[in-house]
Structure 1
Amino acid sequence: PSQPQVKRYRGRDTEHEVRYHVTRRGVQAEGFPGVRVRHAAPDVVRLEVDGVDNEFRITVHEGDRIHVDTPTSAHTLTRLSRFPDPTAQREPGSLLAPMPGTVVRIAEGLAPGATVTAGQPLVWLEAMKMEHRITAPASGTLTALHAAPGRQVEVGALLAVVQAAAQEEHAS
């Protein structure tokens, strides 16, 4: 079976994650015991919750803001990106997985504190039956290594961090 579709939203103080499958019988929610999706459309969702039908009216504003009228209250949510920009969350020199895959190999002797050179292969990923090399973005010191052989990684997963060597100033 395929992986569920995942949508994430931020409310006032919390984040919400909705997982579902689209099947021949319609939309099926995952992880919500006692909840059955009766109808799902862009403007209205009908759920059966423990045998009671509930209708939720949906209005989308400004692309990412969503207003939900429930039978007892109203909520405004912000849709979170499916693929957040990993550069905003990572320190400089972070090596991120460019695709989902399996770590098949780490460069021999590679450990935090090791000196690496720009373009040096550090980690090998297998994805789509092909092997992909992840190389050092700059010469410097490996400060963190999160990859391990056999580990499954998602796109954007932090594999390692290389702290670039300080640029030497040349006296004139």
Structure 2
Amino acid sequence: MPHSMPPFSTPDWLSQSRLMPLPAPQILDWLFDEGSLTRRLTHLSDDSFSITPLLEGWQTLRDDECAALDLPPASQGWVRETYLRGRGQAWVFARSVAARSALEHGGLNLDELGSRSLGELLFCDQAFARRPIEVCHYPRHWLPAAVQADDLWARRSRFDRGTLSVLVAEIFLPTLWSAASVPPENR
């Protein structure tokens, strides 16, 4: 699948303090919101929220993912890709990864989530600590063909519980900005 292949180049994932120029305030609010994205999307969709799994399985993690998880390059991990949907539309493409070694001893069964929200699981388990959010313009070739576009905003953060770390990336699709009433010139 094209969105799972190794990248040609990796983006610079930046903290808010290193982000220049700053996007519009409405975009910043979504990118750096520390709350549960699942809850926010559920509210925006008037409780018409769902998750569509696209891909789940063991893969070689991308270099940027290995670096974020403090793993050697080309480490194996569990990859879960989903659409987060509001009112039937794909609003967010999400890619979550965790190292094989950490999952085998971490007590988290990512392979059993199905259409349930990983985000809700991470936010409900208070043993998980969230690291700072980083953002970038997500590479087009990392996206599923149906939603490939240039310059889509993405954010990611790492959730740690003991030796288990899960890296969650969320890519905001144009349909979300329309639903959230963000004017096209501010996207």
Structure 1-normalised TM-score? Answer: 0.20
Q: TM-score, structure 2 length as denominator?
A: 0.19
Higher alpha-carbon Rg? 1
Structure 1 or 2: more strand by fraction: 1
> Higher relative CO (CA 8 A, sep ≥ 6), structure 1 or 2?
2
